Amino acid sequence: MAILMPALGRVREQARATACQANLHQWSLIWSAYANDYDGYLMKGMGGKNDVWMGALRSYYTEAKIRLCPTATKFRSEGAGGTFAAWGIWGDEGWHTAGDYGSYGMNEWCYTPPGPGASSWGGHPEWNWKGIDLKGSGYIPLFLDCYWDGGFPVDSESPPVFDGEVSDSMDRFCLNRHNGFTNGLFLDFSIRKIGLKELWKLRWHQQFNINGPWTKAGNVLPDDWPQWMRSFKDY
């Protein structure tokens, strides 16, 4: 039994990772349907409940549990750790609706600013992707395993000091839920696993430097990574 237990654990982990990708496949259909209904554009992300993904997509699905990665279904209030905890909305204010929950989040650089000069939560509306019909959209992350409902990663943000630490937007996505990988849906609606160090090689926004300081091309050294990430594949 002692010999079998580690193997059974790996099988369960693989099953949860596969189920996570199945969830994201459903989300690919949801995001695609929304974009088709709005001439290839995504929601505006300006603060109204129907301007952010949770409210804008609500009428496109019926089962709320698909907002949960199978490895992160419990809330922090139930004792779940940061990496494996679901987020929950307890107050009904602004763009949030009380009772919403999940463990996936949006790359908020994919929100569509409503016009020239419009503000963006990320502070750089010119960086936002303004639709889905884009060259290289298979490298633009849209919807991923996430500590919160989304974030605005930039290339200079450093990795979490420990798994589950969250001090900036990239940390929200850099979660070791799937053995050195996370799962993501891209702007071309493809789904795949993503190496945690690979997060710094994705095209999060229009000015994101994919050869930045946390990439091999940017001369990152093995010892520059936090101890918990050093064994993961380099990019």
Mean pLDDT, range 206-216, rounded to an integer: 97
> What single DSSP character describes residue 149?
S
Average pLDDT, the chain: 90
The answer on pLDDT for 99 being more than 80 is yes
The predicted model scores a pTM of: 0.91
Label residue 6 by pLDDT band (50, 70, 90). Answer: low
Q: Which residues pair with 37 in a beta bridge?
A: none
Listed by start position, the domains of the chain span 4-229
pLDDT at residue 120 in the model: 61
pLDDT of residue 119: 58
CA distance 30 to 140: 17
Give yes or no for residue 2 having a pLDDT over 60: no
Residue 201 pLDDT > 60, yes or no? yes
Task: Provide the pLDDT for residue 156.
Answer: 96
Q: What does the pLDDT read at residue 49?
A: 81
Structure tokens at 142: 């849209």
**DSSP letters of 116-159?**
TT---TTS-GGGS---S--TTGGGSEEEEE-SSSEE---TTPPP
7 band by pLDDT with thresholds 50, 70 and 90? very low
Coil, strand or helix: which one is 104? Answer: strand
Q: Is the pLDDT of residue 217 over 80?
A: yes
Around 90, how many Cα atoms within 13 Å sit in the side-chain half-sphere?
5
Say if residue 4's pLDDT is above 80: no
Query: What digits encode the pLDDT tens for the residues 23-65?
Result: 999 999 999 999 999 999 999 887 678 889 999 999 999 999 9
